[in-house]
């Protein structure tokens, strides 16, 4: 009897092991362990056996039943794995195909550099001041100690608009300096501001555009001297050009709104066709500056006996060109998609002092 | 301002090397522009002797020359007609680069004859355009000597940039004075010995001005000469003028130019035989004209100062002389003028007449009044030396003397303003060397400083500080950090000032390229965008393409898109954040974030097809900007009305209340694109950043508490049939408002017109999310809320549920 059961067990285990797929395995399960299955039938047939055999046969059958159930489950798992593997193998894709598009915009170099400037000067305690592009003659010239006969007021440099009803000549501001005047007339000293913005000169050639961007600084206090001016500009240049040292040279110059006035050169060299700022034997002029002329303070109602300070101005486009190696000023304003993509900045690259101004 | 080293040394006793001098010029504010050392540039060129010049056997026009260079004999094939045996010329050996042509000389063979080197013409030497033959040197020119020295070209030419306040350095003597003060030598005394006249001037001088115009010419000093022989100037003078770029004309004219550059003292010479005296300085009369020395006829009027005689104006005072009384080689009688003309009037006259001259350049910057007489005396001696003859007593009208400028000065201000220590004694020396008078006044530390007559720019104490500082040296200034205002930095930008950057980065993230375009545009285009006002028109544009302030940024962006399309880029997404102008006042300038899109929203792709951009893309851009800058987007009203440059049916405005427009968007009007000659369609938008109200200042940065339930939310869909004209906005608003306690989100997921929906109707399907509060929503509660939605939408729009 036990031999029969052993034979049945071996036969059924062989069937399970030979099942080709999950459906075949299920058919085997039903044919063995199902209601009408062979094991089930054997179990049913136990009653007809003599009582002395019944117990032993029952135990053996139960053993076989468990064994089969286990084997079927194990086989099911392995068949499932094999089927999954086969399916996955058939589902391969070409991972080299290009991704779905996510158009990437760019930030213009002028905007990026503006954000860099703001980050640096914020750290030095400056705030940003702004003013209108269309200025009156008083704010753009007279209050800045630019007398009526000064060459800068002549037609070749300044864009004029029709005069105001009260006869005041109107101009497109030739520098951001009128915002100094507006700031000093609107609030009492001390001041520590930077003024970025659009500026205009009727000039157009290889290196000049009728519109360009300037950033200007103004510091007014009781004991601010030219050493502070040098310290401020040195700190700015080191931070902006992201170098440890910048050689600097102050040359005496002349601007009507500062006295004394200076032009500032920074050290530079050309290596393999690329400009290096800060090092080398060359000099590169980057800005004009000076101590605010007492006449300007007087025009703003600030007592020059009590207050003094410095101002500087430089071209945003120019320092952007120097830092990022952009060759042509005119291209800044041409909106060529290829240029914007190449020289522009990824929008998530927001300049900070903690994370660095640029990659 | 150009001058030569030897010229400088006429006034400055110095042993300093050229580079020392040029470095110092820059250091004291006389910035070096260029230095041309032709002795170095022309070093390879030497004096050579042509031993023999014979006809080239194989070429009619060529000669074969045997040349003695002083160190060797070489054969040179030469094409110059004047190459001949026995002459002396300028030789360049092989290996030399010829300045006039840029060619490198190599040993060569010309039609069978060896040629090693070259005999040069003036053009080849870069000296002139003369190319009819090779340079012929004097017979006694030393063989093998550098050509530059023999030709007097070995005097380095220095070019500096003189700032507008330093008229005194528009003469070599002023430059020498500055260098001497800066320790580079000693200023030589100026020999202005008076030349006694031997007769009375037959021409009198007069100042004939009404009181208001008296400043036009405050002094006129003159002198008559006779028995002159005018002709070419001596070689030294011709060389100096040529070196600084002036063309020698004749001795009398050259002398005036020389004194102008030597002392910054412009002079004028009249041919006295052509002057019908007396010589008068007066205002011109309307209708008078003058044929000037530049050959042009200028109309004159009562604002222009002239020197006139009985014949009328003979020169424009301080600007340019007249042709009729100009000196020529035939001149034997001459009248020399040294006058003082008003700087402002001279500038205005020169500008109005469009005349640039060395005299104008100096008079408009204010010449030294004390140099009137010395200038005249020095010129007198030069005239007598070069042209012979005799001179009259001088004639004078007016006075060159003006009040001296005295400034109160505290030496301590140098430290206070510049941050450098310059001892009082050093300050005193610097000022004295520059010609300033220094006197103690009222106690220690207070000086009275008298400005020299040639420094009309000196205005106050700060100017004196500058003089001391620039001569002491700006390199003494030590970098000093500004004191920190707070331990950690405060924001530099106010909330409103952060918005432009927020808008830019939001749009760039959406795939748009940031542009910067001109603030101006062609007026004819400005009118298309609501602009073109007269008071926003430039009076002096650089071109008619840039003649009006832009009323909108769109026009320039459309033109920019067009340029990209022309380059083959059909899909364009551009934006700019910048100013636009509705009037010339500060309030008329508004900050706009403006953009446009054209073409498809992406390239052709294997997985998904791009679609054409539409007004909804522009709307999305607008909302992205408004969200980024913190505008209250939930409170905005949206209406289908936009300015005339948009498609009337495919555009909208976003408003806060009835009047405050925050943004407009939509498809651009095809007629506008036509006028700008750019192919569309295009969509665009304009966000007026400053119209978005700023958030109220808050004392705390805490967010409101988040109240959410873990209970499951429910979604219910509704399809409404409404009139075609009913807006989605109206349906959504009504649905949202139906039960604010439970409805958290409503959105449109389908819009359908066509079969099954009546004519003039559309089906709008919305989905609403309901969030329970304290307990799971029962079917009954959900049905009740749904009914409220149907009722509210029906009431607001006449909608019925689609059957």
- Judge if A185 and A330 occupy the same domain: yes
In a domain, A100, yes or no: no
Distance from CA of A86 to the nearest CA of B (A): 25
Separation between Cα atoms, residue B313 and residue B291, nearest integer Å? 9
* Largest separation between any pair of C-alpha atoms in chain B: 129
pLDDT in tens, A84-107: 999 999 999 999 999 988 888 999
Chain B residue with the nearest C-alpha to that of A259 = B462
pLDDT in tens, A154-211: 656 899 999 999 999 999 999 999 999 999 999 999 999 999 999 999 887 878 899 9
Which residues 431-490 of chain B have a CB within 8 Å of chain A? 459-463, 465-466, 469-470, 474-475, 477-482, 484-486, 489-490
Q: Closest by alpha carbon to A314, among A207, A201, A209, A176?
A: A176
Which residues 695-714 of chain B have a CB within 8 Å of chain A? none
3-state secondary structure of A287: strand
Question: CB of B574 within 8 A of CB of B560?
Answer: yes
Q: What is the pLDDT of residue A151?
A: 65
pLDDT in tens, A212-252: 999 999 999 999 999 999 999 999 999 999 999 999 999 99
- Judge if A40 and A156 occupy the same domain: no
- Option in B462, B486, B585 nearest A125 (CB): B486
In a domain, A358, yes or no: no
Q: Which residue has the tokens 């304009």?
A: B686
In a domain, A316, yes or no: yes
Half-sphere exposure of A261 (CA within 13 A, CB side): 18
- The verdict on a CB contact (< 8 Å) between B462 and A134 is no
H or E element: which one contains B426? helix B424-433
- Judge if A146 and A250 occupy the same domain: yes
Instruction: Tell me the backbone φ, ψ of residue B791, rounded to 5 degrees.
Output: -65, -45
Separation between Cα atoms, residue B231 and residue B252, nearest integer Å? 8
Average pLDDT over residues A4-15: 86
3-state secondary structure of B271: strand
- Judge if A169 and A86 occupy the same domain: no
- Option in A104, A148, A259 nearest B511 (CB): A104
Single out the residue in A63, A90, A117 at which a domain terminates: A90
- The verdict on a CB contact (< 8 Å) between B364 and A149 is yes
Average pLDDT over residues A56-78: 89
Question: CB of A75 within 8 A of CB of A16?
Answer: yes
Which residues 84-113 of chain B have a CB within 8 Å of chain A? none
In a domain, A95, yes or no: no
- Judge if A15 and A77 occupy the same domain: yes
Instruction: Report the CATH number at residue A122.
Output: 3.30.930.10
Single out the residue in A90, A118, A136 at which a domain terminates: A90
In a domain, A101, yes or no: no
Q: Which residues of chain B have pLDDT under 50?
A: none
Residue B27 at interface with chain A, using a CB cutoff of 8 Å:
yes
Confidence of residue A36 (pLDDT cuts 50, 70, 90): confident
In a domain, A319, yes or no: yes
- Judge if A60 and A179 occupy the same domain: no
Q: Closest by alpha carbon to B176, among B14, B307, B298?
A: B14
Average pLDDT over residues A51-79: 88
Number of domains in chain A: 2
First to last CA, chain A: 84
Q: What is the pLDDT of residue B254?
A: 96
- Judge if A316 and A171 occupy the same domain: yes
The pTM is what? 0.88
Q: Closest by alpha carbon to B372, among B402, B348, B392, B347?
A: B402
Separation between Cα atoms, residue B527 and residue B532, nearest integer Å? 5
* Largest separation between any pair of C-alpha atoms in chain A: 135
In a domain, A355, yes or no: no
Question: CB of B724 within 8 A of CB of B761?
Answer: yes
User: What DSSP assignment string belongs to B109-125?
Assistant: EETTEEE-SEEPPTTTT
Per the structure, the complete domain to which residue A59 belongs is given by 2-90
- The verdict on a CB contact (< 8 Å) between B492 and A348 is no
- Judge if A168 and A280 occupy the same domain: yes
- The verdict on a CB contact (< 8 Å) between B351 and A234 is no
User: Mean pLDDT of all residues in chain B?
Assistant: 93
Distance from CA of A272 to the nearest CA of B (A): 25
**Token digits for B533?**
């006002």
Question: CB of B384 within 8 A of CB of B378?
Answer: no
- Judge if A142 and A189 occupy the same domain: yes
Question: CB of A158 within 8 A of CB of A136?
Answer: no
Chain B residue with the nearest C-alpha to that of A293 = B462
Q: What is the pLDDT of residue B774?
A: 86
- Judge if A136 and A230 occupy the same domain: yes
Q: Which residue has the tokens 């913005």?
A: A197
Q: What is the pLDDT of residue A152?
A: 63
Residue B106 is given by DSSP the state: -
Q: Which residue has the tokens 């020095």?
A: B378
Separation between Cα atoms, residue A261 and residue A310, nearest integer Å? 10
Q: Closest by alpha carbon to B148, among B129, B132, B125?
A: B125
Confidence of residue A287 (pLDDT cuts 50, 70, 90): very high
- Judge if A30 and A167 occupy the same domain: no
Which residues 591-610 of chain B have a CB within 8 Å of chain A? 601-603, 605-608
- Judge if A122 and A209 occupy the same domain: yes
Which residues 517-536 of chain B have a CB within 8 Å of chain A? 517-520, 534-536
Q: What is the pLDDT of residue A8?
A: 84
Instruction: Tell me the backbone φ, ψ of residue A106, rounded to 5 degrees.
Output: -135, 150
In a domain, A67, yes or no: yes
Average pLDDT over residues A68-89: 92
Residue B436 is given by DSSP the state: -
How many DSSP H helices and E strands does chain B contain?
A: 20, 40
Q: What is the pLDDT of residue B524?
A: 93
Separation between Cα atoms, residue B591 and residue B691, nearest integer Å? 9
Chain B residue with the nearest C-alpha to that of A102 = B511
Instruction: Tell me the backbone φ, ψ of residue B600, rounded to 5 degrees.
Output: -95, 165
- The verdict on a CB contact (< 8 Å) between A253 and B478 is no
């Amino acid at each position: 009897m036990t031999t029969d059961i052993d034979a049945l067990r071996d036969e059924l285990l062989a069937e399970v092991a030979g099942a080709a797929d999950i459906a075949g395995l299920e058919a085997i399960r039903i044919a063995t362990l199902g209601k009408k299955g062979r094991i089930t039938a054997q179990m049913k047939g136990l009653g007809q056996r003599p009582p002395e055999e019944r117990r032993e046969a029952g135990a053996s059958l139960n053993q076989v039943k468990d064994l089969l159930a286990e084997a079927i489950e194990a086989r099911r798992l392995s068949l499932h794995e094999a089927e999954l593997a086969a399916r996955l193998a058939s589902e391969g894709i070409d991972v080299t195909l290009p991704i779905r598009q996510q158009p990437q915009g760019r930030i213009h170099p002028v905007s990026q550099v503006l954000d860099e400037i703001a980050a640096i000067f914020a750290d030095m305690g400056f705030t940003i001041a702004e003013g209108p592009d269309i200025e009156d003659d008083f704010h753009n010239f007279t209050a800045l100690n630019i007398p009526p006969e000064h060459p800068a007021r002549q037609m070749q440099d300044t864009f004029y608009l029709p005069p105001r009803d009260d006869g005041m000549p109107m101009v497109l501001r030739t520098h951001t300096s009128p915002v100094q005047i507006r700031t000093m007339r609107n609030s009492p000293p001390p001041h520590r501001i930077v003024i970025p913005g659009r500026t205009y000169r009727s000039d157009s050639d290889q290196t000049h555009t009728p519109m360009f961007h300037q950033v200007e600084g103004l510091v007014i206090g009781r004991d601010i001297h030219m050493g502070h001016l040098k310290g401020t500009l040195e700190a700015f240049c080191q931070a902006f050009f992201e170098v440890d040292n910048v050689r600097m040279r102050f040359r005496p110059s002349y601007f009507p709104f500062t006295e004394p006035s200076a032009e500032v050169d920074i050290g530079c060299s050309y290596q393999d066709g690329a400009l290096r700022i800060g090092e080398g034997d060359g000099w590169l002029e980057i800005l004009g500056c000076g101590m605010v002329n007492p006449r300007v303070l007087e025009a703003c109602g600030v007592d020059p006996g009590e207050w003094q300070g410095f101002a500087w101005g430089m071209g945003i486009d120019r320092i952007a060109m120097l830092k990022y190696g952009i060759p042509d000023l005119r291209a800044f304003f041409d909106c060529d998609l290829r240029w914007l993509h190449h020289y522009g900045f990824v929008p998530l690259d927001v300049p900070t002092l903690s994370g660095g101004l640029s990659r | 301002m150009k001058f030569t080293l030897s010229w400088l040394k006429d006034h400055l006793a110095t042993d300093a090397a050229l580079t020392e001098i040029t470095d110092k010029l820059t250091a004291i504010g006389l910035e070096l522009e260029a230095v041309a050392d032709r002795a170095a540039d022309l070093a390879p060129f030497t004096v050579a002797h042509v031993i023999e010049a014979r006809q080239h056997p194989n070429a009619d026009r060529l000669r074969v020359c045997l040349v003695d260079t002083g160190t060797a004999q070489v054969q040179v094939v030469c094409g110059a007609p004047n190459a001949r045996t026995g002459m002396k010329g300028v030789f360049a050996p092989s290996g030399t680069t010829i300045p006039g042509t840029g060619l490198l000389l190599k040993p060569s063979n010309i039609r069978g004859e060896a040629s090693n080197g070259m005999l040069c013409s003036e053009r080849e030497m870069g000296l002139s355009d003369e190319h009819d033959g090779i340079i012929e040197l004097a017979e006694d020119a030393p063989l093998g000597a550098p050509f530059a020295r023999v030709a007097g070209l070995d005097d380095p030419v220095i070019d500096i940039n003189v700032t507008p306040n330093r008229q005194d350095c528009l003469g070599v003597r002023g430059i020498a004075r500055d260098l001497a003060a800066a320790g580079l030598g000693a200023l030589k005394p100026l020999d202005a010995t008076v030349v006694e006249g031997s007769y009375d001037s037959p021409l009198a001088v007069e100042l004939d001005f009404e009181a208001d115009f008296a400043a036009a010419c405050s002094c006129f000093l003159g002198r008559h000469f006779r028995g002159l022989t005018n002709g070419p100037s001596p070689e030294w003078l011709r060389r100096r003028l040529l070196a600084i770029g002036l063309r020698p004309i004749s001795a009398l004219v050259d002398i005036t130019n020389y004194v102008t550059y030597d002392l910054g003292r412009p002079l004028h010479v009249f041919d006295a035989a052509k002057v019908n005296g007396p010589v008068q300085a007066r205002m011109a009369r309307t209708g008078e004209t003058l044929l000037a020395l530049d050959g042009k006829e200028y109309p004159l009027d009562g604002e222009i100062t002239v020197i006139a005689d009985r014949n009328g104006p003979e020169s424009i005072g301080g600007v340019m002389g007249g042709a009729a009384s100009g000196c020529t080689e035939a001149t034997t009688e001459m009248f020399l003028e040294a006058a003082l003309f008003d700087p402002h009037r001279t500038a205005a006259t020169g500008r109005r007449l469009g005349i640039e001259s060395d005299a104008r350049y100096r008079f408009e910057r204010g010449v030294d009044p004390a140099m009137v007489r010395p200038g005249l005396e020095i010129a007198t001696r030069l005239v007598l030396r070069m042209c012979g003859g005799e001179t009259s007593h001088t004639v004078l009208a007016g006075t060159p003397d003006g009040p001296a400028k005295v400034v109160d000065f505290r030496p301590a201000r140098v430290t206070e303003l510049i941050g450098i220590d310059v001892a009082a004694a050093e300050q005193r020396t610097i000022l004295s060397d520059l010609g300033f008078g220094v006197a103690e006044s009222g106690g220690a530390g207070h000086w009275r400083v008298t400005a020299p007559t040639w420094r009309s720019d000196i205005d106050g104490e700060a100017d004196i500080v500058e003089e001391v500082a620039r001569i002491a040296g700006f390199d003494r200034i030590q970098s000093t950090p500004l004191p920190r205002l707070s331990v950690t930095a405060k924001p530099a930008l106010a909330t409103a000032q952060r918005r432009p950057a927020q808008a830019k980065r939001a749009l760039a993230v959406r795939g748009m390229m940031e542009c910067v375009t001109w603030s101006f545009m062609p007026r004819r285009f400005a009118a298309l965008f609501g602009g073109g006002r007269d008071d926003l028109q430039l009076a002096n544009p650089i071109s008619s393409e840039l003649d009006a302030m832009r009323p909108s940024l769109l026009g320039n962006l459309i033109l920019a898109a067009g340029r990209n399309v022309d380059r083959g880029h059909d899909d364009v997404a551009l934006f700019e954040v910048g100013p636009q102008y509705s009037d010339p006042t500060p309030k008329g300038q508004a900050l706009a974030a403006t953009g446009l899109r054209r073409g498809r929203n992406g390239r052709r792709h294997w997985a998904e097809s791009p679609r054409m951009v539409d007004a909804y893309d522009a709307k999305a851009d607008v909302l992205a900007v408004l969200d980024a800058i913190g505008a209250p987007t939930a409170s905005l009203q949206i209406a289908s009305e936009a300015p005339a440059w948009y498609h009337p049916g495919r555009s909208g405005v976003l408003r806060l209340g009835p009047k405050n427009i925050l943004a407009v968007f939509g498809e651009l009007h095809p007629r506008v694109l036509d006028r700008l000659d750019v192919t569309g369609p295009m969509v665009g938008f304009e966000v007026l950043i400053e119209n978005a109200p700023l958030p109220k200042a808050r004392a705390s940065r805490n967010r409101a508490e988040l109240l959410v339930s873990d209970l499951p939310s429910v979604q219910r869909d509704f399809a409404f049939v409404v009139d075609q004209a009913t807006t989605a906005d109206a349906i959504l608003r009504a649905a949202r408002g139906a039960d604010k306690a439970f409805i958290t989100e409503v959105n449109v997921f389908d819009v359908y017109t066509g079969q099954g929906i009546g004519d003039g109707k559309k089906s709008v399907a919305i989905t609403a999310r309901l969030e329970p509060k304290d307990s799971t929503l029962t079917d009954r509660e959900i049905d009740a809320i749904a009914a409220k939605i149907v009722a509210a939408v029906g009431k607001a729009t006449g909608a019925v549920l689609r059957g």
